[in-house]
Chains A and B, each alone.
Chain A
Amino acid sequence: MNRSPRLRLAGVTAAAAALSLLAAACGSSGSGGKSGSGSSNAASAPGITKTQILIGSHQPLTGVAAPGYSEIAPASNAYFQYVNQHGGVYGRKIVYKYLDDGYDPAKTVSVVHQLVLQSSVYAIFDGLGTPTHLSVVKFLNAQKVPDVFVASGCVCWNLPSTEPDTFGWQLDYVREGKILGAYIKQHFPHTKIGFFYQNDEFGQDGVKGLSAEIPASQVVSKQSYVPTNINIGPQVAALKAAGAQLVVSFSVPAFTALLRLNGLKLNYSPQFVVSSVGSDPITLAGLLQAFAKQGGAKVNGIALTQGIITDAYEPTLGQTTNSWIALFKRIHDTYIPKLPFDGNVLYGESVAYTFVQAMLKAGRNPTRASLVSAIQGGLSQGPALAPYAYSASSHAGMTGALIGVIKTGVVVPQTPVMTTDTTPTGAVSPYTGSQPPAPASGMP
Chain B
Amino acid sequence: MTLLRHLAVAIIVGALLAVASVTLNSFRDFQMAEVATYVTAVAGLTILIGLSGQISIGHGAFMAIGAYAAALILMHLNWPLVAVLAASAAIAAVAGLVLGVAAARLRGPYLAGITLLLAVALPSLATRFAGTFGGDQGLGVNVTTPAFLGPSFPLTRWQAWVACAAALITLVLLANLARSRVGRSWRAVRDDETAAALAGLNVAWLRILAFAVSAACAGLAGALLGITTTLVSPGSFTVTLSIALLTGAVLGGLGTLPGAVWGSLVIVLVPTYVTDVATSHGLSSSVAANIPVAAYGVVLIVVMLVFPAGIQGAVRRLLGPAAPSAGGPIGSLRRRVPARDNPEEGAS
Co-complex (A, B): yes
A window 1-27: CB within 8 A of B: 1-2, 4-6, 8-21, 23-27
Which residues of chain B are within 8 angstroms of A20 by Cβ–Cβ distance? 17, 20, 32, 35, 265
Which residues of chain A are within 8 angstroms of B20 by Cβ–Cβ distance? 17, 20-21, 24
Taking a contact as CB atoms under 8 Å apart, the answer to whether A134 and B138 are in contact is yes
Taking a contact as CB atoms under 8 Å apart, the answer to whether A135 and B25 are in contact is no
| Interface presence of B305 (CB below 8 A) | no
| Interface presence of B108 (CB below 8 A) | no
* Partner pick for A139 among B13, B231, B279, CB 8 A cutoff: B231
Taking a contact as CB atoms under 8 Å apart, the answer to whether B32 and A9 are in contact is no
Closest-CB distance, B221 to chain A (whole angstroms) = 13
Taking a contact as CB atoms under 8 Å apart, the answer to whether B229 and A109 are in contact is yes
For B2, B240, B289, which residue has the most chain A Cβ atoms within 10 angstroms?
Answer: B289
Which residues of chain A are within 8 angstroms of B231 by Cβ–Cβ distance? 134-139
Closest A residue to B231 by beta carbon equals A138
Interface size class of B (residues with CB under 8 A): 35 or more
Assembly CA distance A26 to B272 (angstroms) = 12
Taking a contact as CB atoms under 8 Å apart, the answer to whether A134 and B32 are in contact is no
B window 127-159: CB within 8 A of A: 127, 135-138, 140, 155-156
| Interface presence of A74 (CB below 8 A) | yes
Taking a contact as CB atoms under 8 Å apart, the answer to whether A117 and B26 are in contact is yes
Taking a contact as CB atoms under 8 Å apart, the answer to whether A114 and B265 are in contact is no
Taking a contact as CB atoms under 8 Å apart, the answer to whether B235 and A13 are in contact is no
Interface size class of A (residues with CB under 8 A): 35 or more
Assembly CA distance A134 to B265 (angstroms) = 26
Taking a contact as CB atoms under 8 Å apart, the answer to whether A139 and B230 are in contact is yes
Taking a contact as CB atoms under 8 Å apart, the answer to whether B327 and A5 are in contact is yes
Taking a contact as CB atoms under 8 Å apart, the answer to whether A61 and B289 are in contact is yes
CB within 8 Å for A106 and B238 given contacts A1-B327, A2-B328: yes
Q: Which of B4-12, B185-193, B211-219 forms part of the interface with chain A?
A: B4-12
For A21, A27, A113, which residue has the most chain B Cβ atoms within 10 angstroms?
Answer: A113
Taking a contact as CB atoms under 8 Å apart, the answer to whether A4 and B6 are in contact is no
Taking a contact as CB atoms under 8 Å apart, the answer to whether A138 and B265 are in contact is no
Closest A residue to B312 by beta carbon equals A12
Which residues of chain A are within 8 angstroms of B230 by Cβ–Cβ distance? 138-139, 142
Assembly CA distance A54 to B34 (angstroms) = 25
Q: Which of A97-105, A284-292, A391-399 forms part of the interface with chain B?
A: A97-105
Assembly CA distance A61 to B271 (angstroms) = 14
Taking a contact as CB atoms under 8 Å apart, the answer to whether B27 and A8 are in contact is no
Closest B residue to A129 by beta carbon equals B235
Closest-CB distance, A146 to chain B (whole angstroms) = 18
Closest-CB distance, A230 to chain B (whole angstroms) = 15
| Interface presence of A377 (CB below 8 A) | no
Closest A residue to B275 by beta carbon equals A99
Closest A residue to B2 by beta carbon equals A6
CB within 8 Å for A62 and B289 given contacts A4-B328, A6-B5, A14-B13: yes
Taking a contact as CB atoms under 8 Å apart, the answer to whether B13 and A17 are in contact is yes
Assembly CA distance A73 to B284 (angstroms) = 13
Which residues of chain A are within 8 angstroms of B208 by Cβ–Cβ distance? none
Which residues of chain B are within 8 angstroms of A18 by Cβ–Cβ distance? 16
Assembly CA distance A114 to B265 (angstroms) = 16
Taking a contact as CB atoms under 8 Å apart, the answer to whether A23 and B269 are in contact is yes
Taking a contact as CB atoms under 8 Å apart, the answer to whether A21 and B324 are in contact is no
Which residues of chain B are within 8 angstroms of A106 by Cβ–Cβ distance? 235-236, 238, 240-241, 244
| Interface presence of A186 (CB below 8 A) | no
| Interface presence of A156 (CB below 8 A) | yes
B window 165-203: CB within 8 A of A: 171, 175
Closest B residue to A28 by beta carbon equals B25
Taking a contact as CB atoms under 8 Å apart, the answer to whether A134 and B13 are in contact is no
B window 18-36: CB within 8 A of A: 20, 24-28, 30-32, 34-35
* Partner pick for A9 among B9, B34, B238, CB 8 A cutoff: B9
| Interface presence of A29 (CB below 8 A) | yes
Taking a contact as CB atoms under 8 Å apart, the answer to whether B30 and A200 are in contact is no
| Interface presence of A170 (CB below 8 A) | no
Taking a contact as CB atoms under 8 Å apart, the answer to whether A61 and B286 are in contact is yes
Closest-CB distance, B40 to chain A (whole angstroms) = 14
Closest-CB distance, A80 to chain B (whole angstroms) = 14
Assembly CA distance A11 to B6 (angstroms) = 12
Assembly CA distance A1 to B331 (angstroms) = 11
* Partner pick for B27 among A4, A100, A117, CB 8 A cutoff: A117
Assembly CA distance A221 to B11 (angstroms) = 62
Closest-CB distance, A76 to chain B (whole angstroms) = 12
Taking a contact as CB atoms under 8 Å apart, the answer to whether A110 and B34 are in contact is yes
Assembly CA distance A105 to B316 (angstroms) = 36
| Interface presence of B258 (CB below 8 A) | yes
CB within 8 Å for A9 and B330 given contacts A17-B13, A23-B273, A130-B136: yes
* Partner pick for B292 among A9, A12, A100, A109, CB 8 A cutoff: A100
Other A-B contacts than A8-B328, A131-B235, 8 sampled, CB-CB below 8 A, are A6-B2, A6-B329, A9-B330, A15-B315, A30-B25, A61-B286, A109-B236, A137-B231
| Chain A to chain B contacts (Cβ below 8 Å), 14 pairs | A1-B324, A17-B20, A18-B16, A20-B17, A20-B35, A21-B16, A30-B25, A61-B285, A105-B235, A110-B272, A111-B275, A118-B27, A131-B136, A135-B229
Give 4 nearest A-B pairs by CB, closest first: A5-B328, A61-B289, A105-B235, A118-B27
